[in-house]
């Protein structure tokens, strides 16, 4: 009995250790994501500064063609940023989804539950899977709508 208690204490300690490592890993991932976002935002801010300077020069000269060219450049940079953001979001989405078939995961959980006398099937039936389809499509539709609106505004400015 004494040996079983020692094994149980060790198992609990190791489980808590693993959970702490998982929490730490999650926090590190979050910090990494924030750092990456900050670096991207720094680049965007730098580009916006140069675009604003170019736009200011164009407005001062009131050359409509130059203003149009700068606006097109800004729109292109905005689209590039949108594409990069979409790629990062897709990568984050695919990194968090599992490549193991869901049926195998459920089967393993059921096997472990049966070995330990647990009733887990009700919980599995109520669990929802993470949707991965349609994320990039929604972003592309939004981008097209925004692009159409910007094109109409540019046409109105030219007239």
Indicate if 26 and 79 belong to the same structural domain.
no
User: Does residue 48 sit within a domain?
Assistant: yes
User: Does residue 137 sit within a domain?
Assistant: no
Quick one: average pLDDT of 73-95?
A: 81
- Tally of CB atoms within 10 A around 69: 13
Centroid of chain to Cα 34 = 11
More confident residue, 1 or 74: 74
Indicate if 56 and 69 belong to the same structural domain.
no
- Predicted model pTM: 0.35
Q: How far is CA 59 from CA 2, 37, 55, 63, in A?
A: 84, 32, 6, 7
Indicate if 78 and 52 belong to the same structural domain.
no
- Split at pLDDT 50, 70, 90, the class of 99 is low
- pLDDT tens digits, one per residue of 20-44: 999 999 999 989 999 999 899 998 8
Residue 63 has pLDDT above 80, yes or no: no
Count: domains in the chain: 2
User: Does residue 101 sit within a domain?
Assistant: no
User: Does residue 142 sit within a domain?
Assistant: no
- Split at pLDDT 50, 70, 90, the class of 16 is very high
Indicate if 58 and 68 belong to the same structural domain.
no
User: Does residue 54 sit within a domain?
Assistant: yes
Indicate if 6 and 40 belong to the same structural domain.
yes
Tokens found for residue 104: 């195998």
Quick one: average pLDDT of 64-91?
A: 83
Q: Which of 12, 39, 62 is the last residue of a domain?
A: 62
- Split at pLDDT 50, 70, 90, the class of 136 is low
Tokens found for residue 19: 């959970």
User: What is the per-residue pLDDT for 19?
Assistant: 94
Indicate if 31 and 73 belong to the same structural domain.
no
134 DSSP assignment: T
Domain interval for residue 74: 63-93
Indicate if 13 and 34 belong to the same structural domain.
yes
Residue 12 has pLDDT above 70, yes or no: yes
User: What is the per-residue pLDDT for 135?
Assistant: 52
User: Does residue 105 sit within a domain?
Assistant: no
User: Does residue 136 sit within a domain?
Assistant: no
């Amino acid at each position: 009995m004494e040996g079983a208690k020692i094994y149980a204490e060790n198992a609990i300690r190791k489980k808590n250790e693993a959970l702490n490592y998982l929490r730490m890993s999650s926090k590190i991932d979050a910090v990494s994501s924030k750092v990456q976002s900050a670096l991207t935002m720094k680049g965007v801010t730098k580009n916006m500064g140069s675009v604003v300077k170019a736009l200011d020069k164009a407005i001062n000269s009131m050359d409509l063609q130059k203003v149009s060219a700068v606006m097109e450049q800004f729109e292109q940079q905005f689209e590039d940023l949108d594409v990069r953001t979409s790629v990062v979001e897709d990568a984050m989405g695919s990194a968090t989804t599992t490549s193991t078939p869901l049926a195998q995961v459920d089967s393993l959980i059921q096997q472990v539950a049966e070995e330990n006398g647990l009733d887990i099937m009700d919980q599995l039936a109520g669990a929802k899977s993470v949707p991965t389809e349609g994320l990039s499509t929604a972003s592309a539709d939004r981008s097209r709508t925004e692009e159409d609106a910007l094109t109409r505004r540019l046409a109105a400015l030219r007239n």
